Amino acid sequence: MSEKYDYCIIGAGAAGLSCAIAAASNGNSVIVLEKNKKAGKKLYATGNGRCNLTNRYADTACYRSKGGGYLELLFNLCHGVDISEQVCGFMNALGILTTEIDGYVYPASFQASSVVWAMLDELKKLKVSIECEHEVNDIKQYGDLYRVHCGNEEYTAANVVLAAGSCAYPSLGGSRSGYGLAERLGLKVIEPEPVLTALKVGKQEHFELLKGVRARGRVDACDRSGRLLASEYGEVQFTEDTLSGIVCFNMASLKPDRIRICFFDRVPDRNAFISHADRTLIGVLNGYVNDRLAEYMVESYGLKRSTCCSDLSIKQIDAFVGHIAELEFHVTGTEGFDKAQAATGGISLDMIEPSSFAVKGRKGLYAVGELLDIDGKCGGYNLTFAILSGLKAGGGYHA
Ligand SMILES: Cc1cc2nc3c(=O)[nH]c(=O)nc-3n(C[C@H](O)[C@H](O)[C@H](O)COP(=O)(O)OP(=O)(O)OC[C@H]3O[C@@H](n4cnc5c(N)ncnc54)[C@H](O)[C@@H]3O)c2cc1C
């Protein structure tokens, strides 16, 4: 006969670890089962290792649910007005101070590892066992109890929390495993799709000039007919064949056909070029933007790097200004699940009790974090949801 736990939590990510802390802080016996070699593998990688924990501007408008359901209700009921305060409060209770840059909140150390370590220390204090390299392959309900199977091992628990995350970023542990467990338990799963991933631009002439450039601008996502889908201001990062950075990540789910970017706070007018007739176009543009961006603007227009302002007529200068005012890139796709920070889709919100994250009509079964059909913008919103949903399912944290 296997040992009986009050809570068996499947997945040691942000949601599962938060849930384990809350459940154990309420006097429950808790076990966490994790398929990876170590707990919190994805959490370590968040925010480029800096862990963007939450965002001061977090509210329901920053979240989406592919299948609809009770998104607003879920979030309002569970987290009240200032949701970022709740994440910071929890972190502070674990001994992690937080710091903010333009609304983006990080641990004061700017190290994701400090968050993982603080959570693991708290779990140790609360005597929670975390069994790594334990992939759950089946869950069966027998009356008021659940039997959780990992290969030949079996764990019995009164409450089971599905915190297995999404299939985004498989090299950090993302897998479809949680969806399979949920479906076998009779839960509706909305087909996941990758979100928060870089936009591929394929082979575009002169694009290689931009590799490594990071520049801020107004970014417009448009459909095939040129209709504006979304517009955001922020930093764009260029790789060999992608556009990335927070604004581009946020636009991936819209599947844009093209991205138009204005890199100027003030677009140079014809006089900027006429008054510097002896200088090269690149030289003038470099007064406004990154030098490689300036080179790209000139070469992608079919001009030589050495072209001087005086080489162009006024009509030609006006046409050139029109070109640089808004650079257009054709989008051929996204980097997909391989490099997605999150997935849209997952367990349907219709099945979830908003106040507790319990599965409706299934006593003792809960689902939290990215496994649910809810995803947030880039900027701390997904960790916020993972942490707060985990705490809620564990009955709230009582330090
Ligand atoms: C590179 C990257 C950077 C990111 N940066 C940020 C950021 O800065 N801010 C932010 O808000 N969000 C960020 N995100 C998103 C955020 O990390 C996730 O939304 C969040 O970690 C989800 O937490 P989770 O606990 O629901 O899932 P996960 O963290 O994925 O945890 C689920 C765990 O369950 C385990 N598991 C799965 N199936 C089983 C099974 N059958 N048995 C046992 N264990 C199982 C997995 O191995 C995994 O450890 C980032 C994501 C990535 C990939």
Cα of 219 from ligand 1 centre, angstroms: 28
* In contact, 168 and 180? CB cutoff 8 Å: no
Q: Tens digit of pLDDT per residue, the chain (399 long)?
A: 567 999 999 999 999 999 999 999 999 999 999 999 999 999 999 999 999 999 998 888 889 999 988 777 677 665 555 789 999 999 999 999 999 999 999 999 999 999 999 999 999 999 999 999 999 999 999 999 999 999 999 999 999 999 999 999 999 999 999 999 999 999 999 999 999 999 999 788 999 999 999 999 999 999 999 999 999 999 999 999 999 999 999 999 999 999 999 999 889 999 999 999 999 999 999 999 999 999 999 999 999 999 999 999 999 999 999 999 999 999 999 999 999 999 999 999 999 998 899 999 999 999 999 999 999 999 999 999 999 999 999 999 988
Q: What is the three-class DSSP state of 85?
A: helix
d(CA 98, CA 53): 9
Cα of 174 from ligand 1 centre, angstroms: 7
Backbone dihedral angles phi then psi of residue 203, each to the nearest 5 degrees: -90, 110
d(CA 324, CA 300): 10
* In contact, 343 and 190? CB cutoff 8 Å: no
What tokens does 190 get?
Answer: 């909305």
d(CA 378, CA 26): 32
Q: Ligand 1 site: residues with CB under 6 angstroms?
A: 10-16, 33-36, 41-43, 45-47, 51-52, 135-136, 163-165, 168-169, 172-175, 177-178, 341-342, 369-371, 380-383, 386
Q: 144-201, pLDDT tens digit by residue?
A: 999 999 999 999 999 999 999 999 999 999 999 999 999 999 999 999 999 999 999 9
What tokens does 116 get?
Answer: 């993982």
Using the atom order of ligand 1, give the atom closest to the CA of residue 381: 11
Residue-range domain boundaries for the chain: 4-195+343-393, 199-334
d(CA 373, CA 71): 9
At the fourth CATH level, the homologous superfamily of domain 4-195+343-393 is: FAD/NAD(P)-binding domain (3.50.50.60)
d(CA 338, CA 256): 19
* In contact, 146 and 156? CB cutoff 8 Å: yes
d(CA 39, CA 120): 8
